A and B are shown apart, each in its own frame.
Chain A
């Protein structure tokens, strides 16, 4: 039972991170029908920008203001990078064949990944301990302050995004563009601005996810983006790609699944089990758990 609850806590923590990253994939896919392969590398980049902000810009001593500063600086830099990415690699290919856009996305991923390597080198960096390591022992289950912070902050961000998408005018425009870009344009929506907005929000959430990954796993490498990116993408598919609550649910479920596989079966097979789950879901229910749009037959 203790193992179960402990893995539940761990699973929820990593699940929140997956969910944050998955939102970036699912929003872009929802509107552009494009797998943004570079998103994972933006996430990896945010861990490095966070490290840089902490040690070079904010003096390397941790306090509440510094932690907030690290998050803000990372969010700003990575969001701008997301905008540049969209402008440079995706916008010129919006009318091109689908595969060209996929290769452009792969090229962008390569640029960001190797850009990180050029700036910080190929070796592993250790992310600073920003959050004091306070640990509570609740009836045999270990919970750290960091885990609580990750879960709470992710929940707040996701709730905020949900509110933004469902209740605001821009959110409505995003949903309209996801259903039919041409119709949305006819209704006076500037689809280009909407797509830029999506990249901005997705990258910002990915930036938070990247800093979380740095905080939680500590060791960061320039090529870790693929790994986390793929996981988050799987999460987005499990929840139903294009569906925002689906990405959140998928992230949490995938985190739990991973934690239980690692806890009960074996961590050396975790990757294989995750992707077997993905394939089973694609066979049984390709629209994902919450996916409802059936206009495009998959």
Chain B
């Protein structure tokens, strides 16, 4: 089933996504671009939350760190946006290690609250124009966008296609992760970190590793996000956004199709129902509750690492 999905589903998804700009006007192209970017961030959130099973509600901070790294280097130091990408991955990853280090031993809700705390401190630092670099509440605007010479009118599509390429790259990383020693270690961690430790997995290192990897991927998405709007501002990385990414992973279920569905449900649907602006989130709240009651593991739960049904004793 999963094999078939990977062989047919993913190429189909990417073909549809690649052709999508042909039928979208500029507003929906922007929605589609953000959809792809949010999918990347949600996938990075899933590395920590879904794969390693650590309650992280601060992913928007790493997303923002990447975006601000790119924006600051571009606006203040004149680096081209593409050149900022390595640092936009590296800096969030380093922050991920430094911040996760002291709190990694916290369990469940305590970790959740600590990551919310980091996110709030981060946003307030941005708003207070830390070091004179972050531009205060308005953020940084007028960034030089990625441009491919000689593209002419095709230029409008670069944010979308660059996001799509990064998504493809992210899926490639995650596929390799799932098939690697580190990926299996994270799955064991999620199921039972005491048991994982007792069979020789260094739980602390792998937990920090998952934070660093998640932060790096989110940072990469941050650069693309800064490119899409050619601007960054603090509220885009508020902890309410972290709540959104957290919800996407849980509502969708921590599998790639689940997360894509999750982003669609939590981000694209509200855009479609923009005309019902006052009612949409009211109904969404109910939808979240009922989804969790009917499908506590999410709409499309991950299958990896589960014991096949035939081996489970009935009753």
A binds B: yes
Task: Determine whether the beta carbon of A93 is less than 8 Å from that of B296.
Answer: yes
The 5 lowest CB-CB distance pairs between A and B, nearest first, are A107-B288, A110-B285, A111-B285, A96-B296, A275-B117
Per the CB 8 Å criterion, the residue count for chain B at the interface is 42
Task: Determine whether the beta carbon of B288 is less than 8 Å from that of A275.
Answer: no
Task: Determine whether the beta carbon of B118 is less than 8 Å from that of A279.
Answer: yes
A282 with B114, Cβ < 8 A, contacts A268-B128, A275-B121 known: yes
Task: Determine whether the beta carbon of B128 is less than 8 Å from that of A92.
Answer: no
Task: Determine whether the beta carbon of B114 is less than 8 Å from that of A279.
Answer: yes
Task: Determine whether the beta carbon of B118 is less than 8 Å from that of A104.
Answer: no
Chain A residues closer than 8 Å to B247, beta-carbon distance: 103, 106
Chain B residues closer than 8 Å to A96, beta-carbon distance: 292-293, 296
Task: Determine whether the beta carbon of A104 is less than 8 Å from that of B117.
Answer: no
Task: Determine whether the beta carbon of A278 is less than 8 Å from that of B285.
Answer: no
Binding site for A on B (CB under 8 A): 49, 55, 102-103, 106-110, 112-114, 116-118, 120-121, 124-125, 127-128, 240, 243, 246-247, 250-251, 278-279, 281-282, 284-289, 291-293, 296-297
The smallest beta-carbon distance between A1 and chain B, in angstroms, is 29
**Chain A residue at smallest Cβ distance from B250:** A103
**Is A167 located at the chain interface by the 8 A CB criterion?**
no
The main secondary structure of chain B at its interface with chain A is helix
**Chain A residue at smallest Cβ distance from B115:** A279
Task: Determine whether the beta carbon of B293 is less than 8 Å from that of A92.
Answer: yes
The smallest beta-carbon distance between A106 and chain B, in angstroms, is 6
Chain B residues closer than 8 Å to A283, beta-carbon distance: 102-103
Task: Determine whether the beta carbon of B289 is less than 8 Å from that of A272.
Answer: no
**How far is B109's CA from A112's CA once the two chains are assembled, in angstroms?**
22
Task: Determine whether the beta carbon of B110 is less than 8 Å from that of A108.
Answer: no
The smallest beta-carbon distance between A274 and chain B, in angstroms, is 8
What are the interface flags for A265-282 relative to B under an 8 Å C-beta threshold, 1 for contact and 0 otherwise?
Answer: 000110110011011001
Task: Determine whether the beta carbon of A110 is less than 8 Å from that of B106.
Answer: no
**How far is B55's CA from A71's CA once the two chains are assembled, in angstroms?**
38
**Is A73 located at the chain interface by the 8 A CB criterion?**
no
The smallest beta-carbon distance between A283 and chain B, in angstroms, is 5
**Is A169 located at the chain interface by the 8 A CB criterion?**
no
**How far is B124's CA from A68's CA once the two chains are assembled, in angstroms?**
39
User: In the complex, which of the residues A100, A237, A298 contacts B296, with contact meaning CB atoms closer than 8 Å?
Assistant: A100
**How far is B119's CA from A226's CA once the two chains are assembled, in angstroms?**
14
Binding site for B on A (CB under 8 A): 29, 33, 35, 88-89, 92-93, 96-104, 106-115, 117-118, 226, 230, 233-234, 237, 268-269, 271-272, 275-276, 278-279, 282-283, 286, 296-298
Chain B residues closer than 8 Å to A117, beta-carbon distance: 278, 282
Which of B120, B286, B288, B289 is most buried by chain A, counting CB atoms within 10 A of its CB?
Answer: B289
A233 with B113, Cβ < 8 A, contacts A97-B297, A99-B55, A298-B106 known: yes
Task: Determine whether the beta carbon of A35 is less than 8 Å from that of B106.
Answer: no
Chain A residues closer than 8 Å to B113, beta-carbon distance: 35, 233-234, 237, 278, 282
The main secondary structure of chain A at its interface with chain B is helix
Task: Determine whether the beta carbon of B114 is less than 8 Å from that of A278.
Answer: yes
User: In the complex, which of the residues B103, B112, B292 contacts A279, with contact meaning CB atoms closer than 8 Å?
Assistant: B103
* Apart from the given pairs A233-B113, A286-B110, 12 other A-B contacts in the complex at a CB distance below 8 Å: A93-B293, A102-B112, A104-B288, A111-B285, A111-B286, A118-B282, A230-B116, A268-B124, A268-B127, A276-B117, A282-B106, A298-B108
Q: What would be 11 A-B contacts, judged by CB atoms less than 8 Å apart?
A: A97-B296, A100-B292, A100-B296, A102-B250, A106-B243, A106-B246, A108-B289, A110-B288, A112-B285, A271-B124, A275-B120
Task: Determine whether the beta carbon of A104 is less than 8 Å from that of B124.
Answer: no
A118 with B288, Cβ < 8 A, contacts A271-B124, A283-B103, A286-B106 known: no
**How far is B288's CA from A272's CA once the two chains are assembled, in angstroms?**
30
**Chain A residue at smallest Cβ distance from B107:** A298
**How far is B112's CA from A101's CA once the two chains are assembled, in angstroms?**
14
Task: Determine whether the beta carbon of A272 is less than 8 Å from that of B120.
Answer: yes
User: In the complex, which of the residues A33, A98, A106, A234 contacts B288, with contact meaning CB atoms closer than 8 Å?
Assistant: A106
Task: Determine whether the beta carbon of A110 is less than 8 Å from that of B284.
Answer: yes
Task: Determine whether the beta carbon of A118 is less than 8 Å from that of B278.
Answer: yes
**How far is B288's CA from A93's CA once the two chains are assembled, in angstroms?**
12
**How far is B120's CA from A271's CA once the two chains are assembled, in angstroms?**
7
**How far is B285's CA from A111's CA once the two chains are assembled, in angstroms?**
5
Task: Determine whether the beta carbon of A100 is less than 8 Å from that of B250.
Answer: yes
Task: Determine whether the beta carbon of A282 is less than 8 Å from that of B293.
Answer: no
A111 with B289, Cβ < 8 A, contacts A275-B117, A282-B114 known: yes
Task: Determine whether the beta carbon of B285 is less than 8 Å from that of A114.
Answer: yes
Chain B residues closer than 8 Å to A275, beta-carbon distance: 116-118, 120-121
Task: Determine whether the beta carbon of B109 is less than 8 Å from that of A278.
Answer: no
User: In the complex, which of the residues A99, A114, A298 contacts B110, with contact meaning CB atoms closer than 8 Å?
Assistant: A298
The smallest beta-carbon distance between B72 and chain A, in angstroms, is 19
**How far is B110's CA from A99's CA once the two chains are assembled, in angstroms?**
13
The smallest beta-carbon distance between B89 and chain A, in angstroms, is 25
**How far is B128's CA from A111's CA once the two chains are assembled, in angstroms?**
32
**How far is B117's CA from A286's CA once the two chains are assembled, in angstroms?**
14
**Chain A residue at smallest Cβ distance from B249:** A99
**Chain B residue at smallest Cβ distance from A105:** B289
The smallest beta-carbon distance between B274 and chain A, in angstroms, is 15
**Chain A residue at smallest Cβ distance from B298:** A100
The smallest beta-carbon distance between B222 and chain A, in angstroms, is 21
The smallest beta-carbon distance between A232 and chain B, in angstroms, is 12
The smallest beta-carbon distance between B119 and chain A, in angstroms, is 9
Task: Determine whether the beta carbon of B289 is less than 8 Å from that of A88.
Answer: yes
The smallest beta-carbon distance between A121 and chain B, in angstroms, is 9
Task: Determine whether the beta carbon of A282 is less than 8 Å from that of B284.
Answer: no
Task: Determine whether the beta carbon of A272 is less than 8 Å from that of B103.
Answer: no
**How far is B279's CA from A233's CA once the two chains are assembled, in angstroms?**
28
